[in-house]
Homo-oligomer: A and B are copies of this chain.
Amino acid sequence: MSIQNNYEAIMAGGIGSRFWPVSRTKHPKQFIDLLGTGRSLIQWTYHRFKHICPKENIYFITNQQYIATLKEQIPEVSDENIISEPSRKNTAPCAAYFAHKMLALNPNANIIMSPADHLIMDERAFERTCYDALDFVAKNDALLTLGIKPTRPDTGYGYIQYDVEDEIDKVYRVKTFTEKPSLDLARTFLKSGDFLWNSGIFVWNVKTIVNELEKHLPEMNEVFEQAKDVYNTPNEAAVINDLYSQCTNISIDYGIMEKAKNVYVIPSYFGWCDLGTWESAYDNSDKDYLGNAVYGSNVMIIDATECMVKAPDKKLVVLQGLEQFIVIDTPDVLLVCERSREQQIKEYVAEVKRNKGENYL
């Protein structure tokens, strides 16, 4: 496997509404240093992939409105490596588009599709896993996903069941995908030992994915095949802009992975977290002795336990009497809600939209 054949598509078009009010439509969470690590989530993601493939092979797929922020945060990325998604259409159109673009560029391309906003603690383990994955898809006609060994019965994640007996080089055949399960089901999954969290990181050779698109999403595949002569030319953006609206809004998981026969997973251990919610940010934070995760240099806890608190450094926050709450303060929005209710934040945001328009989104 030549490293020159490795390509990376960082999917960075999401709006991260479950991280509202810190994540905003205009400045979503991938561009934010949520945990105060000194780099935004997308900067870390880019940083990680620079060890896996040449930086010319790292692409960003994002929405037009985020391109300026992206360039600001990663100035070294060239315009050719920024793909503007004409509209939000979930991950399958994004994967199909990128596959066809790569096919035109390098028919031996091995591709990693990765979200921009995940937290990964063990970079070296991540690199090793990616190399193994790229190597596997270069040699096998396989759709590969990275599965995370679950540590708790999280109901916010998707689960992958794999066949523990069907193994080649630590890669296992996938039996089923299950979207966000009930708590009971999640507990059963955890006990059974053959379930992994779906990281949303997919790895495949360009020929494999195009084949599978032909089989399972033939109409969508045709849309992108039509454009084969314009990929990687100055006309690409305009042509795709016209074609994109013909795509169905569907995820990679649902559109391809759950239907294909050649789906594999690598059980992985690299300190992964979706960081999709305040709860996951809380889990990944250092806490004080009362279990409070505090971001902001002027937060005074009078008495509060197991709270997730974030405020601008200059703002003095005095908290008393809160147990297991999320308190997020920004210059124009304050959110106070129970940690157990944070799956509802999306609904609150929808409510805000109905009542207040787009101003606070």
Residue of B21, B327, B348 near A302 (CB, 8 A) is B348
Q: Is the Cβ of B316 less than 8 Å from the Cβ of A333?
A: yes
A322 part of interface (Cβ distance < 8 Å): yes
A313-342: which residues lie under 8 A (CB-CB) from chain B? Answer: 314-322, 325, 327, 329, 332-338, 341
Instruction: Report the minimum CB–CB distance from A114 to chain B (whole Å).
Output: 32
CA distance A360 to B314 in the complex (A): 10
Q: Is the interface of A mostly helix, strand, loop or mixed?
A: strand
Q: Given that A334-B315, A334-B329 are contacting pairs, would A320 and B302 also be in contact in the complex, using a CB cutoff of 8 Å? A: no
- Is the interface on chain A under 10, 10 to 19, 20 to 34, or 35 or more residues? 20 to 34
In the complex, what residues of B have CB within 8 A of residue A319's CB?
A: 336-337
Q: Given that A316-B352, A352-B316 are contacting pairs, would A322 and B336 also be in contact in the complex, using a CB cutoff of 8 Å? A: yes
A356 part of interface (Cβ distance < 8 Å): yes
Q: Is the Cβ of B336 less than 8 Å from the Cβ of A327?
A: yes
A162-181: which residues lie under 8 A (CB-CB) from chain B? Answer: none
Instruction: Report the minimum CB–CB distance from A337 to chain B (whole Å).
Output: 4
Q: Show 21 A/B contacts (Cβ-Cβ < 8 Å), sorted by A.
A: A21-B318, A298-B356, A300-B348, A300-B355, A300-B356, A302-B344, A302-B348, A302-B351, A315-B334, A316-B333, A316-B334, A316-B356, A317-B336, A318-B333, A318-B336, A318-B348, A318-B352, A320-B341, A327-B334, A329-B329, A334-B334
In the complex, what residues of B have CB within 8 A of residue A352's CB?
A: 300, 316, 318
In the complex, what residues of B have CB within 8 A of residue A325's CB?
A: 321
A190 part of interface (Cβ distance < 8 Å): no
Mark each residue of chain A from 40 to 62: 1 if its CB lies under 8 Å from any CB of chain B, else 0. Answer: 00000000000000000000000
A95 part of interface (Cβ distance < 8 Å): no
